[in-house]
Every structure is written in structure tokens, then in C-alpha cells.
Chains A and B, each alone.
Chain A
Amino acid sequence: MAILSQDEAQAILKKVISFSTADECEVTLNGETGGNVRSARNSISTSGAVDNVSLVVESRFGKRSGVATCNEFDDATLRRCVQRAEEIARLAPESPEYMPLLGPQQYSAAPQAFAKSTAGITPDYRAQQVGASMKICDEKKLSSAAFLNDEAGFVAKRNSKGLEAYQQITNLEFSITVRTPDGTGSGYATADYNDSSKFDAAALTRTAADKAAMSRNAKALEPGKYTVILEPAALVANSDASLLQALMGALDARNADEGRSFLSKKGGGNKKGEKLFDERVTIYSDPTMPEVATLTFSGDGRPQKKTTWIEKGVVKNLYTSRFWAQKAGIPDLPRPSGWVMEGGTQSLQDMIKGTAKGILVTRLWYIRPVDPQTLLYTGLTRDGTFYIENGKIKHPVKNFRFNESPIIMLNNLEAIGKPVRVGGNLVPPLKIRDFTFTSLSDAV
């Protein structure tokens, strides 16, 4: 029963609200069905399946709030769940940051967020895709480790003030690391989609396999400042922190106003409206965009609308909680689900062609904050790092550790390529000058 229709979901939610005796009541249904397969050494290692629907009830008496959940939907269970939320609310301390529940909202449609193809994936489909991938590596005498995960889900919300929301969403993600048997070469590829019919494990496997073979016998370059071409997977990661996500995660109005953000101003206030990046940097969010369609409402029921965060290098908007928006008198913008960095038309190959000397980076890894004041992060290159000379890849190079801030990086912009989807975002490859590598790593 994991994917309930809008009518089925709202019927349950209406019933739950009818049981409420609280001042305010908001109920949310989440359903998910899907599965995953993991492989290593060209063989399947583990696999799993998910199938779950759960109900969250939030009851409020004045400024006191209580939450209870259940995953059975008979009347007796639903009543008990509401009663428990109300009992917890009565015992809770008053919230000084209380905000009344939202009333009815208008949400955009994002039909491409859900694809029947993905919702219909079977264990056989997963085994077939991963099997095709492993076969390629067997034939090339390379060793692969991969992960395929797909899920179909829905979110439905309703509250006692008349808010009503419903959306279905699907996602498939695949990543693969291919290594040479002697351990001297490693390559990586990843992709994610709403619609699994676009997915081709074999094509991604070939990319990773080519990089593995190309990255053998890497030469050491001195650490220092280099022109780099960062592939999209080096800018945003599916499963780790990343430089661009770090930047987007720092656009919080409250932290900026409180003086603990790179966006805080000396003496108070924040830097919204200031030009902090190269004028070619424009980042916006739009949950209805077909390539990266996602939920059009946030967890608290606010609409997710098309919003420009950075325009021509200028910080245009900061996201915020409803409480802080009211207190600070600023626009009430929720944190976006995904975002789009505007790019150019150049392919990665075009960007390499236009580079006299530089380093091509497939992926950055183990990225951790060093200094929140400057948004300085450290991490390492991984799974395919190459020296470019006169527009051509000359040879693989040993991996580097970097210490760099996305703020500095987006001021040292040389070129922007054509965006591709990574982790539900659209991210272009970027050519950056003076990117700071601080030491070498022997890791392959």
C-alpha cells in the first residue's frame, strides 16, 4: 500500500483530523517503496527492499505541541495516535518560536517528479542492470563496486486550517567505482533520475572503466595553486558533503543575522544584496523544472516556488524558518529541495580543449569544514585526476588534498560548462583558476 492516491491519502488525513480535539492539528502521510542492490568485486554483495507508510500527527494546544506517529490505519489506531499526540502536547513546554499553522496554499504542479517506470522497478530489473555492469568489468578484467537504489514515494499533508498538499515522487540513483586489478587505477561515474527509463548502467560503467584504465601510473605534481576543471560530481556529491552544497547550505538568514556565517556583516546585519561571486554565477531553485522535478512544498507546508538565490554574483535571497522571517521582517522562503546553477553551452571536452595547463578532477571526497568563518573546506581528489596540457589530457596525476572555500572558488571562475543532473541538482562543470592543493595523497 506504499503509494496511496491523493483521494486515498486525503480520506485518511480527513478522518484523522476529525478525531482531533486540539487547537490546531496537522497530519502528514509518507509512503515509500523501493529497493537497492550493492555489488563489489564484480559480484552482488547485499540487497534490500523498503515498503512503508507512516502517519505523523502534530497536535497543538496554544504554544504547546506534541507529535505522534503510527503505521497502521484502522480507526482505533488512528484515534490512539491522535490522543497520544494530544497527551504529549499538553505536557510539552511552550515554544517561544511558535507559529500558527498555515492555511490553504497554492502549489505548482511538477508532473515529471514521478515516473511510472521507476515505481514499477522489480528485483529482476535491478539484477539485470547491475549484472550488465558487472559483465562489462569482467570482460575488461576490471573490478567494480556499485550501488543501485530506487524509490517511489508520496507525501500528503492536511491541517485543521485548511492546508492540503499531495505529491508523488520517484528517484533512482546509481554510482560505480571501477578499479584496475593491480590497484593503480580507479574511475567513477554516477547519475540520478526521476525517470528510470533514462538509466543505463552499462554506459555509466564504461565511463568509470575508461577512467580507471586511463588513471593508471599517475605522476606526482607538486602541490600548489592550479587551474582545475571540476566535473559536476566534484562539485556536488550524492552521498557526501560537497563544495557547492556547502555554499547553498550556508544561505541561512538566521545564522547570517546572528553573526555566525560568512554572510554576516561586521557590526551586524547580513550581506544580502552584495556581490560576493563572479558575475557569471547564477543559482536558482525551481521544483517544477522537468530535469530536476521535486516536491513543490516544504516540510512545514510552505510552497516551494522558483527562487533566485544568487544572480550574477549577487546574493539575492536567503532561506529562513517562518519564525525568523516574521521576527526579522524578511521574505518567508523555505530551504530549497534542489537547485540549478546556470551554465554555458560548452561540453567538458570543449573545456578541456580550451585549457593550456590544468587539472581535470572527476570527483572530490571526504569534504569537511575547516573554518565556518570563510567557508574553508578540505578534502581530496579521487577516482580520476588528470593533467591537461595544450587542450589535451596528457597523463594521470596523483591525488591531491585541497583546502579551498567555495566563495574563493566562485570568484576565480574561468569558464562554465553545460549543466548536468547530480543529486537532484543541475550542476555545470567549472573551470577555476588558483584552486589550492595543499598536499599529495598516495591513495588510488
Chain B
Amino acid sequence: MKRRDFVGLTGLATGALFVPSIPGFGNGTSVDTLRLLDAADDPAIKKRLADAALNAAKAAGATYTDVRIGRYLNQGVFTREKQVQNIVSTESYGAGIRVIANGTWGFASTNIVTEAGMAKAAQLAVAIAKANSVVQKEKVQLAPQKGFGEVSWKAPIQQNAFTVPIKDKVDLLLNANAKALENGASFVNSVLFQVNEQKYFASTDGSYIDQDIHRIWPTFGVTAIDRASGKFRSRQALSAPMGLGYEYLIPKAADKIAGPAGSDVFGYRNSYDMLEDIVRATKQVKEKLTAKSVVPGKYDLVLDPHHLGLTIHESVGHPLELDRVLGYEANYAGTSFATLEWKAKGTPYGSKQVNIVADKLQPGSLGAVGYDDEGVKTKEWDLIKEGKLVDYQKIRDQAHIVGQKESDGCCYSQSWQDVQFQRMANISLKPSPTKMSVDDLVKGVDKGIYIAGNGSFSIDQQRYNSQFGGQVFYAIDKGKITGMLEDVAYQTNTLEFWNSCAGSCDASDYRFAGFFNDGKGQPSQSSAVSHGSSTTRFNGVNVINTARKI
């Protein structure tokens, strides 16, 4: 075991084995919940501290410097059945300083956020840059970025989740667990994660940017066991992690979206009804114990947004990250089939119905910020237009490689103590511009499977071959849902899959899937990202049966 893993298992994380994978939880200092409500430091103070680092780096020989002073607040409430397993509140505060010296990046961080501490870290960053420049071949080329002066951005949330008493959160989770147990669940876990990033960015370009970002993720897992046969199944929540406050947990009827008739699936848009979802999950998980095992073969798949978001993430989001395309992630996450040469050939990525955009703007999404972690104002841009690849995701030191004069604004670091780098923006499939309901979409399917919720997922290091499971599966026969299936996974090739796209529902069905923990980089960093889509049909996809005898 690595020592860092060990730390995650000591006192701080007693009973909370979920915790280490959440950004900030492993590094933060455990604090009283009331501490989470303390106001962020005055921007004027942070400006003075940042200037100390900017000046020290310049004096040491840096030609560019950026400073991120970050306060990262996290809270997790963990329960199983009738008990609270753990309540963890953490705070992590410090500064990361990134410099260019001798044309080479250097980075250092410190939790001593004083003028002297900042200056010392800045000098260390310059020293590291100079040491590495000896074996450096390609000098860093930064896309120009104008300074914005002193500006701020706040996520448009309605209720900071940290203002809600812990008791209310515990009551919600234990109520949800009670509903699952009443309805026959064997076991249930429920969790509520909440994050607040208070980030201050300053750079030698003349920007001083103060931002306040919030995220929330309620989730659960319900397990049903048939002791006689020894069979067990689980169903996870159909909530999405969101860039919202506690208002996400106040259900509104308008945010509830029905799946196809006969499926008993409901999705959620900007608010989530945990109590309703857990009752439905319990019913479905019991049904999964006796559902028909799928006959492998080709099926038309109808994929709900909660499920499709993960497929978009893996087969569009990652292969179109320019650092992967260029080989910077070759030793870990991998590279990409969608090289610059491949793009130049103009081979269709998908069918004409496939229009995919990247953005860091959509309200309520996990990616939404005013400015990225290298001081670039965020935007929306096209990646795939009518099936054709038109662009990648890139940051300031990559823009020149594709002849672009500006960054796309998708640079991110998980904390003050990690260096920022290119991370996935929200990547979303545009809904159909013409009216299309989920029932109309299913109506045209002769032999198919409707899949809701994301499940098992795996894709190769160049993003060709993938395999996806789900939470619930329903057979479609001659345009109608006919019953639940089990043991379903589909295996596909990215280009075949997107070229088999036969259309989506309209905007009334559009909603986000989200991920708190997209991993990338060495040492690995987590990033949170949303993927919007409406229910979409894919024709003739290869479905396998995953049941085995042991």
C-alpha cells in the first residue's frame, strides 16, 4: 500500500471508505461544520498575497507567473440502513504558484499563505523550472491572454448546502434508507457530498479573479439479495452530481421526466426527488433478481441521458482532449484515435444527427465557471457538427499547435496543491431541433433495449473499443417496452456507435449526467464534469450477455 492510501484509512476517514476518491477530502483538514460558513478572505488581502508571489517569481527570473489561492470546502454525510456511518467536513487552504522560467514550467505550492510563504514557494517554482529546463526541448508557448483586472464570478445557486443543518441532511438520507427497507431492500447506503471551491486567481497578465463554485451529489445504492439462490443485484440512484446548491434536493414536478411508457423509469433535471427514486429503485432491484437474461445479438439501443452521459464522456470527451491527442497522457490515460491527421481526412465521427458542443457555461452544470484556472474567460464551442469533427479542447500552452490564437478556457486543478492542466469541459449532445418524445423514439424500434442509468464502463487507451452496462434494462419489441432484462452490456467501436445514431428527443427531454471524479494526470487529479443530452437511439449495436457460472 502506498503511504497516501494509508493516510486515507486513518482516523480522518473512519468508516468512510468512499471518502478518498473525492477531491479535497483526502487532503483537507477536518473542521467543525460551522467553519464551512466562514466567509472567504477579503479579495484585497488575497491580492496582496498574490502580488507577493508574482513579484518574487519575477525577481527570481520567471517570465510568466500565475497564482491560485484556494479554499476548498467539502462535506460528506454517509449512512447505511438505519445508521449514520460518518459525517466529514473538511477545509483545505493554500496557494499554488506556476511559473515559466527558461521557457519551462515550474510549480510549487504552500499552505503557509503569508507574503513570505508565497514568495518562498514562488522562488521554489522558479528553481524547479530552471532545473527541468536543462533537459527541456520544446519551450512553452502561451496563447496571449488579456488581463481582466479585479473581477469576480459566483455560481448562481439558491441555497448554499453548508447552511442546511446536518440534522436535515441526516434525516433525508435515513428517510430514504427507511423507504428502501420498508419496500424490501436487503441493504441500502446513501451519501450526500457537497463541495465549495473559493478560488482566487492572479497572473502577470493583470487578472485578479475571485470565484465561488458549488457542487452537490446525493446518491444511494440499494441491494436486493435472494438468499435461497444466492443471487444479489443492486441499483444506484438516478441523480446527477450538479453545480447547484441544496435547491437540487427540493423536488419540483417540472424537473421530473418520464421514460418510455411501460419502463417505470423517471429522470430528473434541475432538482431531484431522492425519496421517490429510492422507492422505485427498490422495486426495480427486486425485479432485477428475476428479470430475463438477455439473448446476445444486435439491438437498437435507446439510451437515457443519465446513461448516455457516460458514453459521451468516454467516447467523445476524452478522445477530443488535445493533450491526449498529442501524447501528453500516453503513459496513463492514453492517447486518441482522433489525431490531427485523422481530423484532416474528414472521416465522419458520427451521423448527421450528431452535434456535440463543449462548454463551461451551462447553469447548473459541474463545469460552469466564469474563468478557468489559468485566467481565461469561459465559452461554448463546437466539437462535432453534423457528424464531422471540427475542434478539440485545448488550453493556453496548446492553442498554437492547432494554429489557434486563444485558449478554450478548460484548464483546471483539483486543489491549490496540484498543478493545473487541460481538463474536460462539459461535453453535450444537442437535442433534436424538431419535436420528438421518448415514446415516439421507442415507437420506431422493432427489436431493441432501453437502458437507463450509467453502470459498468471500460474503453481502450485510444478510445476505439468500449463496453458499457447500465442500471436498468428494458426489452423493446415492435415499438413497445415489454419487460425488464438483465446481464446486458454493449460493446462498440466509437465511430460505428456515433455513426449509428438515429436521432434524439427534443429539448424537453434534455438533462445532465455528471461525474465528480473524472481521473487524469500523474499524480492523478479529479475533475467534475457534466454531460447534457436527451434520450437518443442507436441502431444495430452489439449486445453481450454478462452472466457467468463460477
* Bound-complex Cα distance A87 to B329 (A): 45
A421 CB-CB contact with B under 8 Å: no
What is the distance, in angstroms, from A326's C-beta to the closest C-beta of chain B?
Answer: 15
Q: Given A145-B330, A368-B456 in contact, is the A67-B11 Cβ separation under 8 Å?
A: yes
Q: Given the known inter-chain contacts A42-B137, A48-B418, A96-B83, please indicate yes or no for A67 contacting B12, CB distance below 8 A.
A: yes
Q: Given the interface contacts A259-B232, A441-B465, does A47 sit within 8 Å of B132 by beta carbon?
A: yes
Pick the residue among A171, A175, A368, A444 that contacts B3 (CB under 8 A).
A171
A353 to B25, CA, bound (A): 49
Chain A residues with CB under 8 A of B232? 259-260, 264, 372-373
Whether B331 pairs with A370 at a CB distance below 8 angstroms is no
Given contacts A295-B1, A382-B461, A375 and B107 within 8 Å (CB-CB): no
A56, A153, A186, A268: the one within 8 Å of B227 (CB): A268
- Asked if B87 and A92 make an inter-chain contact with CB atoms under 8 angstroms apart, the answer reads yes
**Min CB gap A233→B, angstroms:** 13
| Contact flag A69-B12 (CB < 8 Å), given A38-B522, A93-B84 | yes
Taking the complex as formed, is A68 at the interface, i.e. its CB lies under 8 A from any CB of chain B? Answer: yes
Name the B residues within 8 Å of A265 (CB-CB). Answer: 230
Q: Please name all residues of chain A whose beta carbon is closer than 8 Å to the beta carbon of B458 when the two chains form the complex.
A: 366-368, 378-380, 401
Number of A interface residues in the complex (CB < 8 A): 107
A399 (CB) vs chain B CBs: closest residue: B460
Determine whether the beta carbon of B465 is less than 8 Å from that of A36: no
Task: Select one of A123, A266, A337, A438 contacting B6, CB under 8 A.
Answer: A337
B318-350 interface with A by 8 A CB criterion? 326-332, 334-335, 337, 339
- Tell me the bound Cα distance from A40 to B521 in angstroms: 12
Residues of A within 8 Å of B493, CB to CB, are 442
Q: Are B111 and A401 in contact (CB under 8 A)?
A: no
Contact across chains for B460 and A267 when beta carbons are under 8 A apart: no
Q: Is the CB of A401 within 8 A of B327?
A: no
A371 contacts B547, C-beta separation under 8 Å? yes
Residues of A within 8 A of B419 (CB): 46, 48
Closest-CB distance, B482 to chain A (whole angstroms): 23
Q: Which of B2, B134, B329, B417 contacts A127 (CB 8 A)?
A: B134
- Expressed in whole angstroms, the minimum distance between the Cβ of A151 and any Cβ of chain B is 6
Q: For the complex, what is the distance from the CA of A151 to the CA of B7, rounded to whole Å? A: 14
Residue pair A408, B548 in contact (C-beta under 8 Å): yes
State how many residues of chain B have any CB contact under 8 Å with chain A. Answer: 90
Q: Chain B residues near A56: list those with CB within 8 A.
A: 10-12, 30
Cβ–Cβ contact A46 & B421, under 8 A: yes
Q: Is B502 an interface residue (CB 8 A)?
A: no
Contact B522 A43 (CB under 8 A): no
Instruction: Output the least CB separation between A316 and chain B (Å).
Output: 19
Across the interface, do B456 and A378 meet the contact criterion of CB distance under 8 Å? yes
**Using Cβ atoms and an 8 Å threshold, which residues of chain B touch A153?**
3
| Residues of chain B within 8 A of A375, CB atoms compared | 550
Please give, as numbers and ranges, the residues of chain A lying within 8 Å of B456 by CB-CB distance: 368-370, 378
Do B132 and A37 touch (CB < 8 A)?
A: yes
Give chain A nearest CB distance to B272 CB in angstroms. 25
CB within 8 Å of B: which A237-282 residues = 239, 258-260, 262, 264-268
Q: Which of A41, A134, A300, A374 contacts B138 (CB 8 A)?
A: A41
Chain A 25-60 residues near chain B, CB threshold 8 A = 26, 28, 30, 32, 36-38, 40-50, 52, 54, 56-58
Contact with A along B126-140 (1 / 0, CB 8 A): 011001101111100
Q: Which residues of B contact A440 (CB under 8 A)?
A: 465
A407 at interface (Cβ–Cβ under 8 A)? yes
Distance in angstroms between the alpha carbons of A294 and B42 in the assembled complex: 45
A328-345 CB mask vs B (1 if < 8 Å, else 0) is: 000000000110000000
Minimum CB distance partner of A261 in chain B: B232
B331 near A175: Cβ-Cβ < 8 Å: yes
New A-B pairs, 16, CB < 8 Å, besides A127-B132, A374-B547, A378-B489: A52-B111, A71-B111, A146-B331, A149-B522, A186-B330, A260-B223, A267-B227, A267-B228, A337-B1, A366-B458, A367-B458, A373-B233, A379-B458, A380-B460, A439-B465, A439-B542
Segment at the interface with B among A176-184, A214-222, A354-362, A426-434: A176-184
Contact A264 B330 (CB under 8 A): no
22 A-B pairs whose Cβ atoms sit less than 8 Å apart in the complex: A40-B327, A40-B329, A43-B138, A49-B108, A84-B31, A88-B32, A144-B331, A151-B2, A169-B3, A175-B332, A186-B330, A260-B223, A300-B10, A365-B334, A368-B457, A370-B469, A380-B460, A405-B550, A424-B1, A441-B464, A442-B462, A443-B334
How many Å lie between the Cα of A54 and that of B170 in the bound state? Answer: 29
Near A by CB (< 8 A), chain B positions 332-380 give: 332, 334-335, 337, 339
Q: Is A143 an interface residue (CB 8 A)?
A: yes
Q: How far is the CB of B29 from chain A (nearest CB, A)?
A: 5
Task: Give the chain B neighbours of A52 by CB distance below 8 A.
Answer: 111
CB-based nearest B residue for A52: B111
Nearest CB of chain B from residue A382's CB, rounded to whole Å: 6
Cβ distance A399 to chain B, nearest Cβ, rounded Å: 7
Q: Are B3 and A32 in contact, CB atoms less than 8 angstroms apart?
A: yes
The A-contacting residues of B in range 96-110, CB under 8 angstroms, are: 104-109
Q: Please indicate the chain B residues that have their CB under 8 angstroms from the CB of A300 in the complex.
A: 10, 14
A45 to B107, CA, bound (A): 11
Task: Kindly state whether residue B211 has any CB partner on chain A within 8 Å.
Answer: no
Contact with A along B464-487 (1 / 0, CB 8 A): 110101000000000000000001
Bound Cα distance from A374 to B107, whole angstroms = 45
Contacts of B469 in A (CB 8 A): 370
Question: Which A residues from 61 to 87 make CB contacts under 8 A with B?
Answer: 65, 67-71, 84, 87
Residue among B1, B104, B229, B421 with the most chain A CB within 10 A?
A: B1
A352 within 8 A of B: no
Which residue of chain A is the closest to B233 with respect to CB atoms? Answer: A373
* Nearest opposing residue in chain B for A411, CB measure: B550
Give 5 closest A-B pairs by Cβ, nearest first. Answer: A299-B9, A441-B465, A145-B330, A443-B462, A145-B331
A343 to B106, CA, bound (A): 44
Mask, B225-247, CB within 8 Å of A = 1, is 10111111110000000000000
| A131 within 8 A of partner (CB) | yes
Q: Which residues of chain B are within 8 angstroms of A30 by Cβ–Cβ distance?
A: 3, 6-7, 10
* Distance from A344 Cβ to chain B, minimum over Cβ atoms (Å): 25
Residues of chain A with a CB closer than 8 A to B15's CB = 95, 97
Residue in A closest to B8 when the chains form the complex, CB atoms: A299
CB-based contact A403/B544 at 8 Å: yes
Query: Which A residues touch B332, using CB under 8 A?
Result: 145, 147, 175, 239
A67-B30 contact given A169-B3, A266-B230, CB 8 Å threshold? yes
With A145-B327, A294-B1 as contacts: A401 and B491 at CB distance below 8 Å: yes
A46 touches which one: B107, B230, B462, B542 (CB < 8 A)?
Answer: B107
Q: Decide yes or no whether B187 CB sits under 8 A from chain A.
A: yes
The residue on A at minimum CB distance from B341 is A183
Knowing A123-B131, A295-B1 are in contact, say whether A155-B491 is a contact too (CB < 8 A).
Answer: no
Known A130-B135, A366-B461: A259·B225 in contact at CB below 8 Å: yes
81-135 of chain A: CB within 8 A of chain B: 84, 87-88, 92-93, 95-97, 123-124, 127, 130-131, 134
Closest to B137 in A: A43
CA separation between A277 and B469, bound complex, in Å?
28
Residue B524 at the chain A interface, CB threshold 8 Å: yes
Knowing A43-B136, A438-B544 touch, does A68 contact B461 (C-beta < 8 A)?
A: no
B87 touches A442 (CB 8 A): no
The residue that A44 contacts in the complex, of B132, B459, B524, with Cβ under 8 A, is B132
- A376 interfacial by beta-carbon distance below 8 Å: yes
B523 within 8 Å of A (CB atoms): yes
* Structural contact, A40 and B10, CB atoms closer than 8 A: no
- Name which residue of chain A comes closest to B128, CB basis: A47
Does A298 count as interface, using CB distance less than 8 angstroms? yes
Q: Please state if B4 and A32 are interface contacts (CB–CB under 8 Å).
A: yes
Decide yes or no whether B159 CB sits under 8 A from chain A: no
Minimum Cβ distance to chain B for residue A122 (Å): 9
Contacts of B128 in A (CB 8 A): 47, 49, 123
A131's partner among B135, B331, B465 (CB-CB below 8 A) is: B135
Residues of A within 8 A of B462 (CB): 441-444
